[in-house]
Amino acid sequence: MSKKRVVVLTGAGVSAESGISTFRDSGGLWEKYDISEVATPEAWERNQALVMEFYNQRRKQLYEVEPNAAHYALVKLEEKYDVRIITQNVDDLHERAGSGNVMHLHGELKKVRSSVDENLVYELEGWKLKKGDTCEKGSQLRPHIVWFGEPVHMIPKAAELCSTADICIIIGTSLNVYPAAGLVGYTPPGCPVYLIDPAEVNVLHIPGVKLIREKAGTGTVTLVNELLNQLP
């Protein structure tokens, strides 16, 4: 018999206990930086050095952190379930923990791409992207990040995946950013939806959601053990 499919939607909170700042919590990144100055195509046009430095710092930090208990619990869930992760995060902690199926909605920090042809995507060696680093067409490389105002190309694929879920788990996202926040709406009617987040998240658009008001580490480990124990 084929395994039940669990679609997991993750946000910055799943990596918080690894030491990566979230965006909108108090002390979060968007308190320290202005989105319009570092995370938009206009910012890139205005000040490439500043945008590169912002993402260089994020990338440098990524080499200093490790996956946490929540990332590892999702790997363990694969023992009995077909687990598909859709993440808003640009870190690679799900992959480093060992998750087999990870879709990145908002890009990946360790990748860079051509600024004239978005299909030319490269793994960056080391953490530092510099002025003068170019693609094979000779244009400056930019962070492989979906900035505010840019289309989220992975959404149709992600929505299709959500429509095949038997169970959905949402972890550590304020559900402020669309279209990602709307993906849960594509899960089939009756699909159980769990949301793990220590804060009060606006879930009016998720009828019947089961709220687990805990940090990702403890909340995910407990839920994963429960789901594993439900099966022989």
What letter would DSSP give residue 26? T
Site mask, ligand OAD, residues 152-181, x = CB under 6 A? --------------------xxx-xx----
Q: How many Å apart are CA 176 and CA 160, to the nearest integer?
A: 21
Question: Do the bridges between strand 107-114 and strand 121-123 make them parallel or antiparallel, or are there none, so unpaired?
Answer: antiparallel
Minimum distance from residue 142 beta carbon to ligand OAD (Å): 14
Q: Which two tokens stand for residue 120?
A: 């030319």
Q: Which of residues 197-226 bind ligand OAD (CB under 6 A)?
A: 197-199, 201, 215-216
Helix (H, G, I), strand (E, B) or coil at 134: strand
11 scored as a contact of ligand OAD (CB under 6 A): yes
Helix (H, G, I), strand (E, B) or coil at 184: helix
User: Can 106 be counted among the known catalytic residues?
Assistant: yes
The active-site residue out of 106, 144, 153, 205 is 106
- Contact window for ligand OAD (CB under 6 A) among 18-26, 127-135, 184-192, 224-232: 18-26
Q: How many Å apart are CA 125 and CA 29, to the nearest integer?
A: 25
Residues of this chain that interact with ligand OAD (CB under 6 A) are: 11-13, 16-17, 22-25, 28, 39, 88, 106, 146, 172-174, 176-177, 197-199, 201, 215-216
